[in-house]
Structure 1
Amino acid sequence: MKRLLALLLCLGSSLCAADSRPNVLLLMADDLASTLSCYGHSEAQTPHLDDLAKKGVLFSRAYCQFPHCNPSRASMMSGLRPNKTRVTDNADVLYDNVPGVLTLPHHFRQQGYATARSGKIFHLGIPTGLESKDDPEAWDFGTPFEDERPYPPSRESIVTVKTGKKKGIGWQEIPGGDDQLVDGAHTAIAMDWLKKRDADKPFFLAVGFHRPHTPFVAPAKYFDLFPVDSITLPEAPANDVDDIPLPARNGSVPGYTMTATPEQRRAAIRAYLACVSYVDAQVGRLMADLKAQGLLENTVVVFTSDHGWHLGEHELWHKRSLFEESAAVPLIISAPGMKGNGQSSGSLAELLDIYPTLCDLTGIPIPSHVQGKSLKPILNTPSTAIHEGAFTQARRGPEAEFWGRSIRTLRWRCTEWDEGRNGIELYDHDNDPREYTNLAHDPQHAAILKELRTVLEEKLPPIK
């Protein structure tokens, strides 16, 4: 009888103990290319993300599935490719197209996690919020979306841009501290939630930053990190765009088209880098808070972006392309106990992989609908390969009338527009990492082109 009583007391104690499963902190920027110093960008200043990369694994070949906000986020958070979600524009609704879809945070909530969102994780329209595609079943707590806070009066800028009536892409440096803008405010809200959460549950906290999405607005102290004379413009051959199909160079996002002066270009790049440093600072605040609360050793931290952004490469100043600058994303995963921590991986990864990876790292089941693969093998052995190719789809053109699909292997990028009817591209990344020379019509590369186009046809049927 005494042994039975002791067993029951022990069982009761274990049931009442706090859940020890790993926590999750998902950090997501908006329109952030791999413009971080840990990714080799010579001008970026991102010390906190560099430190995170030293703690975890940096993926140097990670790719979004659709270089547009709502389609990319709908794919990543549902675990489904865009040709399954049929979300190809900011107006499309995931839950209408895939009724009952179990999103990543909703799954964690069902598995007993305390879930919270601070900022933009699912698509949230700027500035009205009328395009909100948030999952209402996903969160115990979520910040209400509100307009971008009215900007305080801008200070006298140290940059003189001769623009006439226009200054190109909108940017502004403002006086004051971080929390007067939404990214700083959402960081503070997330830190407050961490202090007040139910400590008996593991947490899934997602913090979404609006920057460096246009307009490029950040506190002036981040602009001060980048003297205007230090900003370099991207170089390219004079005939760079001559061999690019029309859909790949046509249809700039309305309002994003830059005018042509070097001063405007440098000002825009400087402002973008300032916004990146502003986001980096918020990551630093959150990581310091985790450490101060003793949570860092049992928390999986993921940092990424919904897609990249062009800063003049191929004469483009926006997203939505299928070039490397738009399709590639930064991805850093710091998971306690992984053997690869502190290393970089050149293995291919997709944003789709985040869903199964977080399930795998926390010991919760991976839903059967999820199309990505767990990156846990790479986190333990960074040289491991789990993908033969990473896939990205896009819509381009003034009326979004062109459909593109692209595969990136370790060496090649192959892109088709409307199954090849409106153009084909092939780039050799071993010899042409900037994708300056389209080899699609070079007979010497006909065999690899045919092979890659066959894979595209098999893996990415047209979106209907």
Structure 2
Amino acid sequence: MKTRTVIENLKKSLIATVLCVATQAMAAEKPLNVLLIVIDDLRPELASYKAEGLITPNIDRFAEMGIQFESAYCQYPVCNPSRSSFVTGLRPEELGILDNSISLRQKYPDMVTLPQAFRNNGYYTAGIGKLFHVGLDDHGKKNFFQDNESFDYFFSARGKTPKIADKGEGRRLGDGTVGWARWLAAEGGDDVQMDGMNAIQAVRQLEKNHDKPFFISVGFHKPHDPFIAPKEYFDLYPYDEVEVPHDPKDRTALNEYSLPGNYNFPTFDEDDRKQFKRAYMACTSFTDAQIGKVFAAMDRLELWDNTIVVLMGDHGYHLGEHGWWNKVTLFDIGARVPLIIRIPGEDGKSRVTDSVVELIDLYPTLIDYAGLDAPHEMSGKSLRPVLTDPSFDWGEPAFTVVNRPKVKHGYTVRQGDWRLVQWGADAQGGFELHNVVKDREGFYNLADNPEYAVIKKRLHALLKENYDDLN
């Protein structure tokens, strides 16, 4: 009897082992899902990026799970050009989309976007909140965020928030002429705010569709202006403890093209600056909390082992550096974005990489890991070598462009420790050269220093190679 029991147990063990191996093989063959989280106006003002005082526990946890890119750059430091670029894998100047007014789908009706590539290959696709900036509604008219060709399901909380979401303590900043520069410590909690509603929908989509291959993008609005978040997130940052930056007295004089110059920020006094930064920080923590709800669903549904997860910002942002409180600059802090990627099964030698990468690398990376064919030629490159070994420095440059009326465009390249800016195709607006390791904010222009002439020449050659119209 005892021998029979042992034999039966061995049989059960063998069957369990076979089933386990078969299950693992099936899991390995199952397509990788994609969860793409895009956060509006988020610069690397995060604890995982060594930003002091920021409370972002959920993003910090994810940074420990994935590969954090210390030197990731957008291709245009404004919402629509940047997003149109990375959802196509093409540069803004290649698309001819260099402002917030042009709809990608209207200009390129047959363009296969990043989520659309997955949809065309049998994936369920959902768009929650803002991935696209200017989309088309069901009648072909321009609207915010919608793109029917990309998504099986689309949800935007825009215009759906209850009245209590706009109640609470707050005010406009400065002399009131910068309409969007206002903050509100709101009543009603998370779920009455757009991003709270987006988080709820994202969790529902994961719960309803986790048993099929999916591509789900979640676009969170905050910390984009106006700076509205529930009061409890403002309470995390006591007013008296908020520190605002001040430019060094020995800084190089600003190039006249460095800033757009279209906002009346000089009316901001010290109180306005502190309120602005405090509100930005509160909104960042609010968004982090919503991300935590999505990650909790990933935990509960056991999706981490078969889901590529990307968390990113769409462009950089100034919080008072150079007297500027917005985007649209070619300083490193205007172009650099947070980017964290987790690929199931990719265990690099470290969890942080200094490799310089571009957001247009996202599309080719995701279809590479999913085993999909590229629907069109792209300017980005797959990040697989870096994700496989984060200590690997592939030496690639990153390019960003911006409009300036008098010189038409400003162009910049980051490679290694250096960033070169050229204002105008003929450099009629001059050059800026910054060591972004020693001077991340770009206070000291070394372009005319003969000690760095070789570096300037090398970077200028990269600019001319990338932009055909440069001299």
Question: Is the pair's TM-score, using the shorter chain for normalization, greater than 0.5?
Answer: yes
CA distance in 1, matches of 2:385, 2:399: 20
Aligned mates of 2:49, 2:439 — CA distance in 1: 18
Q: Which residue of 2 aligns with 1:202?
A: 213
- Which residue pairs with 1:58 in the alignment? 68
Query: 2:242 is matched with which residue?
Result: 231
SS at match of 1:404: strand
Distance 2:109 2:406 in 1: 26
Q: Which has the larger Rg?
A: 2
Q: Classify the secondary structure of the residue corresponding to 1:249.
A: coil
Q: Deviations over 1:230-261 (max 9, x none)?
A: 1111132125351x321113423x4x736231
> SS of the residue aligned with 1:427?
strand
Contact 2:75/2:399 (<8 A) preserved: yes
What CA deviation, in whole Å up to 9, does each residue of 1:93-143 have, x standing for no partner?
A: 323444522110000001111100010001049xxx954364321111011
Aligned partner of 1:388 in structure 2 is 396
Contact kept? 2:188, 2:230, Cα under 8 Å: yes
SS at match of 1:247: coil
Query: Deviation at 1:388?
Result: 2.4
Evaluate the alpha carbon distance shift between residue 186 and residue 407 of structure 1 in structure 2; reply closer, same or farther with a 3 A threshold.
same
For 2:225, the equivalent position in structure 1 comes to 214
Aligned partner of residue 78 in structure 1, secondary structure: coil
Cα shift readout 1:142-167 (whole Å, capped 9, x = no counterpart): 1146337345453346xx99967679
Contact 1:93 1:133 in 2 (8 A): no
Which of 124, 129, 133 pairs up with 1:114? 124
Cα distance in 1, alignment partners of residues 279 and 107 from structure 2: 37
Counterpart in the other structure of 1:333: 341
**SS of 1:347 mapped into structure 2:** strand
SS in structure 2 of the partner of residue 61 of structure 1: strand
Give yes or no for the alignment of 1:408 onto 2:414.
Answer: yes
Quote the Cα distance in structure 1 between the aligned partners of 2:219 and 2:173: 34
Question: Which secondary structure does the structure 1 equivalent of 2:396 belong to?
Answer: coil
How much has 1:91 moved relative to structure 2? 0.9
Rounded Cα–Cα distance in structure 2 between residues aligned with 1:230 and 1:447: 44
Paired residues in the alignment total: 438
Q: 2:461 aligns with which of 448, 454, 463?
A: 454
Which residue does the alignment assign to 1:6?
A: none
Amino acid at match of 1:391: F
Distance change in 2, residues 1:246/1:50 (3 Å) = same
> 58-67 vs 450-459, which deviates more?
450-459
Q: Which blocks of at least 5 consecutive residues in structure 1 are unaligned?
A: 1-12
**What amino acid does structure 2 have at the position aligned with 1:436?**
F
Preserved CA contact (<8 Å) 1:27 1:303 = yes
Amino acid at match of 1:359: I
2:167 to 138, 154, 163: 154
Letter aligned with residue 284 of structure 2: V
AA aligned to 1:369 is E
Partner of 1:83: 93
Aligned to 1:187: 199
Unaligned runs of 5+ in 2: 1-21, 136-140
**Higher relative contact order, chain-length normalized (CA < 8 Å, sep 6+):** 1
Paired residue secondary structure (2:265): coil
Let me know the Cα RMSD of the aligned residues: 2.6
Identity value in percent: 39
Structure 1 residues 95 and 386 mapped into 2: Cα distance closer, same or farther (>3 Å)?
farther
TM (norm. structure 2) is 0.87
1:70 aligned residue (80, 104, 108): 80
**One-letter code aligned to 1:50:** D
Match of 1:308 among 281, 300, 316: 316
Please say if residues 175 and 220 of structure 1, whose CA atoms lie closer than 8 Å, have aligned partners that are also in contact.
Answer: yes
1:275 corresponding residue in structure 2: 283
